[in-house]
Chain A
C-alpha cells in the first residue's frame, strides 16, 4: 500500500512538474532582461529579441548592420529566424519571448485585433510619420492606429530578357495587359525550352498575391474598398481576370504544368534562362545578378506591371508582452530611419518607404542600369494598390487559392460559376469576423 502511495505521488509530481515546465517560460523571461532602462539611450545589459523571416534577404541584411544599433544603445540584439507558427505560438502564450515581430502586411489586422501588437501612435513623432509615403503608413495601420513601422513596401515587377526582346524586335517592355499576353506568346519557343512567362496556379497563398496583381489590372477587388464588410470578388472584373489568365494556359504562353508552380519555380526557371518574362518581387533583382546562380546576368531589364499591381508591406511591430518595450521602440525607429531605409534601398535596389530616403537613394546610385531598375520599382509603388485587408485575410487567401487552382488545372471550366461559389464562401468567412 505504502509503495503504491509513493508511486502515485511520484507520478503526480512528474505530471505537475511537466505542466509547470511547460508554463514556466514567463518566469524565465522575467529574468531575461530588466525592462527599466537606466537612462535614455543606455540600454546596456538588455537583450532585444527580434523575430525575423527565417533566411530572408532583409533579415540577413539587418543582421549584418545590427552592431550599429548595439553600439548606439549598448543593448544586445538577437535576430531569431522564426516562421509564422512560432511567432503566433509565442503571442498566444503571451510569453514576450520576441520583443519585436517582423510583420507581413496581411497579418497586421489579425495580430492587431488579437492584441498581439502594441499601438505605436504615442511613440513615433508625427514629423517622422510624415516622411513616409502615405500608402506605406496605411499598410501598417489598422482601425486608425499605427501598429508597425514599415521598412519595405513593394509589389511584383516584370523582369524581362533584353536579349530575347531584341531578337524578337520588341523595343519596350509590355505596357498593357494585352501586350503582356501577345509578347509572352510570341517569345515562347518550346523547341528552345523558353516560355513567355508563368502565371502561377499552385493551391498556395503566394500565387494569390500574383492573382491580386492581375485583378487590380482589370479593376477588380477581393474585399470592397468602399465597404470592407463586403466581398467584391463576384464581379465581371474577376471573371475577365481569370479568362485572361486562362488565355495564357490555353494558347501555350506558359508551361503546361504551371498550374502547380509558385514563386520558387518562377525564380528557378527565370534564372535558368527558361522564361522571357517573370512577374516577381523586387528582391529577385539581386538573384538575377548573382553569377553563382543566374544564367541571365546582364540580360535582364525591369519594368512595372501594366497599369497596376498590389502592394504589400514588411514592417517591425512590438509585442505588448515585451519586457523591453522602450528598447523595442528604439529599434523600430532606428531600423526604419531615413538613413537606414536609404541604405536598404541602395543595397537591394528596392523602392524606399520614406520620401527623404527615396530621393537620396536615387541620387546615390551611379550605375545606370541600377538607376533604371529603381525607377521601375518606384513606379510600381506609385501605381500600387493596397488590397483592403481583414482580420482573417489569410483564410480568405486560402479559399481564393483553391479557386485559382481549380480554374488553372481546368478542374472546372465554368469560371463565372466558380467565381460565384468562391465569393459566397469568402463572404461567409468575412462575416465570421463582423
Chain B
C-alpha cells in the first residue's frame, strides 16, 4: 500500500516537472525553428527568398561570403572588438568590484550609478553617445577642451571611431560584469582574509591568492555570456558610425543586416549569420568543456 502511494506520488511529480518545463520547451522549439529556417534560407537563392520560392543553390552563398573581401575585414574588426571589449570590461569589473567590496562611504550610491547604463536600451544610449561624441557640439570634446585637450574627431577618424565604439560598448556592458563579480566577491569570507593578513599577507597577495581564485567561476560565466554577445554587437555600430569611416567599424552583425535589408541578398545574409552562429556555438562548447575540465582538475 505504502509502495503504491510512493509510485503515484513519484509519477505525479514527474508530470508536474514536465508541465513546468513547457515554457522552456517552447523557447527551445522556437530557437530550433529559427535556426532551421536560417539554414534552409542559406541554401536558397537571394531571389528565391524574396519571392517566397525555393531555388537550391548549394554552397554558393557560403562561397560568396567567404570569398568576399569585405567579409574578411569585418571578421577582423569583430574579433578585435570582442577581445578588446571583454578584456577592458573584465579589467574594470575586477577593479570596481574589489573597491566596492570594502563598503566604503558612498558604495551604495556608486552601485546604483554603475547599474544605470544597464537599464537603458542600447539604441537610446547609442544615440545619446552619438551626440556627446560629435566633434562640434558634443559634450565630450567640450569637456576635453576645458582641460586644454584638443579632442579627436570621434566618429570621423578611423582609430578614434574604433575607440568610440569600444568605449560605448564597454560602458553599456561593464555594469553586468561588475554585478556578477560583486556577487561572487561578496561571498569571500572575511575570516579567511583576516587570517591571511595576520599571517602577514599584503593587499595584493590577499587579492591574488584568496579573492581572485574565488572569482574564477564568475569570470567563466561572464566570458560565456559576454563573448557571444560581443561577437553579435550591432546596435552601437548602427547608431554611432553606420560601419564607417571607410568600413573601419563594420562588424559581422552589421554586415549581415546590410546584406539582407539593404542589398536584399537574404541568402548570403543567412549564410553569413549561420557561420557566425557556428563560430559562437563552437566557442561555447569548447569553453564549456575547458571549464568542466578545470573543475574536475580542481577536485
Contact = CB atoms under 8 A, between A and B. Distances in A.
Contacts of A256: 135, 153, 156
Interface string A193-213: 100000001111000000000
Nearest to B134: A265
B262 A395 contact: yes
Interface in A203-254: 203-204
A192 B33 CA distance: 59
Given A402-B246, A411-B246, A394 B263 contact: yes
Given A203-B246, A260-B245, A405-B245, A398 B137 contact: no
B13 to A, nearest CB: 13
A298 B14 CA distance: 76
B262 A14 contact: no
A115 B134 contact: no
B129 to A, nearest CB: 13
Contacts of A14: 22, 25-26, 29
Contacts of B208: none
A261 B241 CA distance: 10
A92 to B, nearest CB: 6
B158 interface: yes
B61 to A, nearest CB: 14
B263 A268 contact: no
A92 B52 contact: yes
B153 A11 contact: no
Classify the secondary structure of A's interface with B: helix
B51 A115 contact: yes
Interface stretch (A15-23, A172-180, A364-372, A377-385): A15-23
A272 B153 CA distance: 20
A11 B136 contact: no
Interface in B96-152: 131, 134-137
A41 interface: no
B136 A114 contact: no
Interface string A251-272: 0000111111100010011001
B244 interface: yes
Given A14-B29, A115-B51, A203-B247, A260 B263 contact: no
A431 to B, nearest CB: 14
Nearest to B243: A203
A32 B113 CA distance: 47
A392 B26 contact: no
Given A14-B22, A92-B49, A394-B262, A257 B134 contact: yes
B276 interface: no
Interface string B237-260: 000011111110000000000100
A411 B244 CA distance: 11
A11 B261 contact: no
Interface residues of B, number: 37
B9 interface: no
Contacts of A18: 26, 29-30, 33
B245 A11 contact: no
Contacts of B22: 14
A11 B262 contact: no
Contacts of A85: 261
A94 interface: yes
A204 B153 CA distance: 17
A14 B263 CA distance: 35
Nearest to A255: B136
A257 B29 contact: no
B52 to A, nearest CB: 6
A10 B20 CA distance: 13
A376 to B, nearest CB: 27
A424 interface: no
A347 B158 CA distance: 43
B50 interface: yes
Nearest to A409: B245
Given A257-B135, A257-B156, A269-B137, A398 B244 contact: no
B155 interface: yes
B136 A257 contact: yes
Interface string A267-303: 0110010100000000000000000000000000000
A388 interface: no
B299 to A, nearest CB: 32
A92 B50 contact: yes
Interface in A391-430: 392, 394-395, 398, 401-402, 405-406, 409, 411
Nearest to A19: B33
A17 B134 CA distance: 49
Nearest to A396: B263
Interface in A71-116: 84-85, 88, 92-94, 110, 114-115
B65 to A, nearest CB: 16
Contacts of A7: 18
Contact of A257 (B26, B49, B155, B242): B155
A268 B84 CA distance: 33
B221 interface: no
Interface in A1-32: 3, 7, 10-11, 14-15, 17-19, 22
B67 to A, nearest CB: 14
B244 A22 contact: no
A294 to B, nearest CB: 15
A392 B246 contact: no
14 contacts: A10-B18, A11-B25, A11-B29, A15-B29, A92-B50, A203-B245, A255-B135, A255-B136, A260-B153, A260-B155, A392-B263, A395-B262, A406-B245, A411-B245
Nearest 8 pairs of A and B residues by beta carbon: A203-B244, A257-B135, A260-B155, A260-B156, A257-B153, A395-B263, A411-B246, A15-B29
Given A7-B18, A409-B244, 9 more contacts: A11-B25, A85-B261, A110-B264, A256-B156, A265-B134, A274-B137, A402-B247, A405-B246, A409-B245
Interface of A: 3, 7, 10-11, 14-15, 17-19, 22, 84-85, 88, 92-94, 110, 114-115, 193, 201-204, 255-261, 265, 268-269, 272, 274, 392, 394-395, 398, 401-402, 405-406, 409, 411
